[in-house]
Amino acid sequence: MTETAAPPATLDGAIEDAVESGHHDPITVVDALKTRHGLPWLKKAVGAKAEDFARDRAREILNLTRRKVERKARIEAEESPNGRAKTATLQPAQVWIPDADGGSFTAYLDVTAADLRAKAAWYRRRAEAFTAYAAWLYDVADEMDAAGATVLAELEEIPPPPSGASVDDLLDT
């Protein structure tokens, strides 16, 4: 039951078209792609992004492994008389370290103090951006309450959303 719409040049273009036509949930976006362009087109378009998907999945698995060994180290420290874990507990994990080129994964046991500081600074920037965004959401909610608005559309205007490189980068993810 595919429509006869001409397929867009890219998967991203097709997704943007679906969003612009009113699909605002990932499930309905994919359903719209299948309806408009057919499952074979979707599979081919996704295939063109196979490296991106595989890279993202690898990143997820590397991060899951890191969190597992960090959890193991936390439990080991809690059970240890001195409240510390053995560094070797982190052996199998890789950790992403940000740098000027975007960052890369490094064996946890090979990171330097500078690497850890770069990672900490990256987390701090993200925390500050999340905090600014949360404050904005609270401000808008308070304005809605003060105006007696039940939905955002009932407000004529709102304060500007937070901006700045760290906020924009964070909210794009």
Low-confidence ranges of the chain (pLDDT < 50): 1-2, 173
Contact call for residues 79 and 73 (beta carbons, < 8 A): no
Residue 42: Cβ within 10 Å count? 17
* pLDDT of the residue at 173: 44
- pLDDT at residue 9 in the model: 73
Residues 6+ away with beta carbon under 8 Å from 77:
83, 84, 85
Note the pLDDT of residue 10: 87
What is residue 48's predicted lDDT score, i.e. its pLDDT? 85
End-to-end CA distance of the chain: 33
pLDDT digits (tens, 9 = 90+) for 126-172: 898 889 889 999 999 999 999 999 999 999 999 888 886 555 665 55
Q: How far apart are CA 152 and CA 90, in angstroms?
A: 47
Closest to 155 in 3D by CA, of 166, 167, 147: 147
Which of 35, 11, 12, 31 minimizes the C-alpha distance to 23? 31
Using CA atoms, how far apart are residues 132 and 144, in angstroms rounded to an integer? Answer: 18
Structure tokens at 129: 């951006």
Whether the CA torsion 34, 39, 45, 51 is positive or negative: it is positive
Whole-number pLDDT of residue 1 = 47
Number of neighbouring beta carbons within 10 Å of residue 35: 15
Domain boundaries, the chain: 11-48, 65-110, 112-173
Angle between helices 11-20 and 39-47 (to 10 degrees): 130
